[in-house]
Amino acid sequence: MKKNSIFSEFLKKLVLTISTILLTNSLIWAQTISGTVKSDQGIKLLGVTVVIKGTTKGTTTDKDGKYVIEARKNQTLIFSFVGYELQEVAVGDKKQLDITLKEATESLEEVVVTAENRSVSAQKVPITLDLVTGKTIQKQGVTDLVQLQAIAPSLNIITNTIFNQINVRGVGSNQGAAELSDQAVTVGIDGEYINRPVALNAALFDLDRVEVLKGPQGTLYGRNATAGAVNIIAKKPTQTREADLGLSYGNYNSLKLNGMVNLPLGKIAAVRAAGILNKHDGYRESSGTGAFNGRIDNGNMWAARLGLSVNPIKALSIYVAGELSKVDQQAPSQYGVPMGNLTELKDKEPISWTTTLPNDYPVATAGFMKIDQSAIRGKIAYDFGKAILSYTAGYRKVAMTGYQPLNGYVPETNSFHNDIASSTQSHELRLNGETAKLSWQVGGFYGDEDQNTARGLLLVSAAGAFGGQVPFLNFFIRDVNSKTSAIFGQATYNVNEKLGLTFGIRNTSDKKVLGGGNLASAPFGPPSIIRFFYPNVPTSATQAGMKPFEGIPTEGSWNRTTWLAGLEYKVDANKLLFAKVSTGYKAGGFDNLGQYNPESLTAYEIGSKNKFANNKLRLNASAFYYDYKDQQVTIFISTAIGGAIQNAGVSTVKGLEIDGEYVATRADRFRFSVNFLDAKYDDLKTVANRVGAAVIERNLAGNVAPMAPKWTLTAGYNHDFKIGKGILNAGIQTLFKSDYYTTAFNYAMDKQKAYTKTDINLTYTTQGGKFDIGVFAQNIEDNRIITFSGFNGGNINTYNWIFGSPRLIGAQLNLHL
């Protein structure tokens, strides 16, 4: 009741504020601004982004370089286009604004971001972020979040069988964090929040950009932004008639088709349809006596999006989009080693044990993984003159079913049956405004999620004892309803033209209710016990053979206030210094042992953003220190209990990041980044698995956090060759990561050795950009990179690994109609 009363009182105050603004600004209306955007060589530019500074309202130019937008006299328009210098123009009394953009041949390109929920140049935002443009994503062949980490150096993603977990600066939902817990990094597509590890298999296509914000972001974004936020911004419908078609083909019979059609519907509406198909043969070979013969780790997915923008009156904008995606492929293969026959490890942890990991290996079955997702999201914004009120909402349904072999060797011993479904809705009401002295925003957030999980461990090796039927060794049904609500606000006050002070606060209330039950007994025992055999699975927690929860809490509530305090100092137009302290929070929850506590983070950061050498050199740097308490870490307990979440006592994360770009000549550009990270547990009392024995208590104090390489370096170089009337762009970029561990235990076989991953591309673009054709190669070194490892002891006694993609080569063609 207290949570609802707080939220209701906030809404009352918000409505009163809106009414006051509406009455005092009834005479302030936008005016229609139109014009043409050309290059400094007189070429009409298609696809130039035109946004109102300080807002998210914008449009793009059509094939004739023309645009139309509604703006007020006191506002400023920002014109940005890849390869050209950003330009800001005050509206004033002008109804016609024709713009000439200067080609960024010997200066840096600027990109407008909405990291603070308002449009501003990335170099002027006092937030450390990785920015990846849609053009880069397409050129590099990136189609999902896992591939994105190759070009966003602070991002590390674990592929734990069917689950993806994201880490930023060594903070994230490591080692699975169970399928029912929350992510520590907020991921959103146009304001729709994606919280489930399975849902993070969503496709990336037809994007404007991806912003990876580092550090707690709770005073600006939805929920659970302990480690940061990943904002995926799709391209929106515009008043431009255009179409794109792309085709890519490469080794492993990889085929990618993507397309887009944008159509204006009169003068007040537009529609945009986009889609992608991506498939490839298996990356690894499986063969052997009694094994599945063929290639494993194939891919097969498609996705589509339909968006509609409507501006019925000058002050009102409406955007709604629907999205579908489908994955239907083999389950991620795991290489495995049976540990039970290693007598030297009996009753011990495999702390220093080592073995050679192969590229190809036999599996008993390829299994399968099917994921169906559907989503609808939208945003309504009304411009009152001095403030903008916006409502953003999203609803997503995810249904996953799969058969996941776990032992990773032949003959098949243990496998997992998965049925996971979730429905998530989020609603956010935000009021924001900006003056010369003050930019501010206040809002309310509400989320509701239902999760239905039915997972069971199959003991395939026991089929002979049951007449060929495969029994379930355990089966867990978990139904969790999560409700979250919050009120938040953030404001920046400009003391003078150089100094700005920022303060933000957020109060969040979470409530979770657990339902379900467990298998009443293991399959071995007297003939009177009820057994379940695959594929006939329990369908209810109350049916015979299942038992309800006993002795554990089934309901929990948490409330936490987080905040941010910072300052920024503009040395001049090209140099920004900033410092801030912020706090983050992620709700507690339930596992198979009961309830675990929330986690919290206090982050300290100083940074600088700079442009030198007449806008030819960009150099940004930041240093940070995190004080992390009660970090949620997943540990496998036993086949009867499964995984459980432990709260780490204290851990610390500190680091330094430097990134830059240099335009040497009209044709030569260099990019680089240096990331240093030191993430360790100061105290983590937990339990550890042993070979053929029960777990023992352990303190992992001093261990390095998972997915936290001490050094991450990137370097890239691009050169433009003038060929005829077109441009041939040759690019190379390389990523270096020092060695790191994939689990908190820091076992010898959890260590991924230091590696480099180099990508190259050659792309020829015709004058006017009507089409481009190119070739590419990814992971030239053909390194086998560990994306997951895990040891399960007790009576499972297997060590498993999952690997990333090998060397990929191909060619692509893109048509811009």
Task: For 81-110, write each residue's pLDDT tens digit.
Answer: 866 778 888 888 888 889 998 876 666 766
Q: For residue 171, which of 651, 598, 507 has the smallest C-alpha distance?
A: 651
Q: Using CA atoms, how far apart are residues 632 and 648, in angstroms rounded to an integer?
A: 6
Model pLDDT, residue 169: 81
Compute CA distances 175 → 332, 334, 632, 645, 752, whole Å.
16, 15, 10, 10, 15
Model pLDDT, residue 637: 64
Model pLDDT, residue 532: 93
Compute CA distances 194 → 59, 278, 384, 673, whole Å.
26, 22, 31, 29
Model pLDDT, residue 106: 63
Q: What is the CA radius of gyration of the chain?
A: 27
What digits encode the pLDDT tens for the residues 114-152?
666 676 777 777 888 788 888 887 777 777 777 777 677
Model pLDDT, residue 573: 83
Model pLDDT, residue 177: 42
Confidence (pTM): 0.84
Model pLDDT, residue 646: 72
Query: Does residue 362 contact residue 411 with C-beta atoms inside 8 Å?
Result: no
Compute CA distances 196 → 143, 154, 699, whole Å.
19, 21, 29
- Show Cβ contacts of residue 344 under 8 Å, excluding neighbours closer than 6 positions: none
Model pLDDT, residue 186: 81
Compute CA distances 551 → 214, 453, 473, 475, 621, whole Å.
40, 21, 22, 18, 51
Model pLDDT, residue 162: 65
Model pLDDT, residue 24: 43
Query: Does residue 179 contact residue 172 with C-beta atoms inside 8 Å?
Result: no
Compute CA distances 75 → 30, 53, 319, 673, whole Å.
10, 7, 22, 35
Residues of the chain with pLDDT under 70: 1-30, 56, 82-83, 104-107, 109-111, 113-117, 119, 150, 158-163, 173-180, 197, 199, 201-202, 222-224, 592, 635-643, 648
Distance, CA of 337 to chain centre: 32
Q: For residue 609, which of 658, 656, 566, 654 has the smallest C-alpha distance?
A: 658
Q: In the structure encoding, which two tokens stand for residue 707, read together?
A: 């997915």
Q: Which DSSP string do the residues of 442-508 spell out, in sequence order? A: EEEEEEEEEEEEEEEEEEGGGGGGGTT-EEEEEEEEEEEEEEEEEEEEEEEEESSSSEEEEEEEEEE
Burial 663-683 (b: 16+ CB within 10 A, else e): beeebebebbbbbbbebbbee
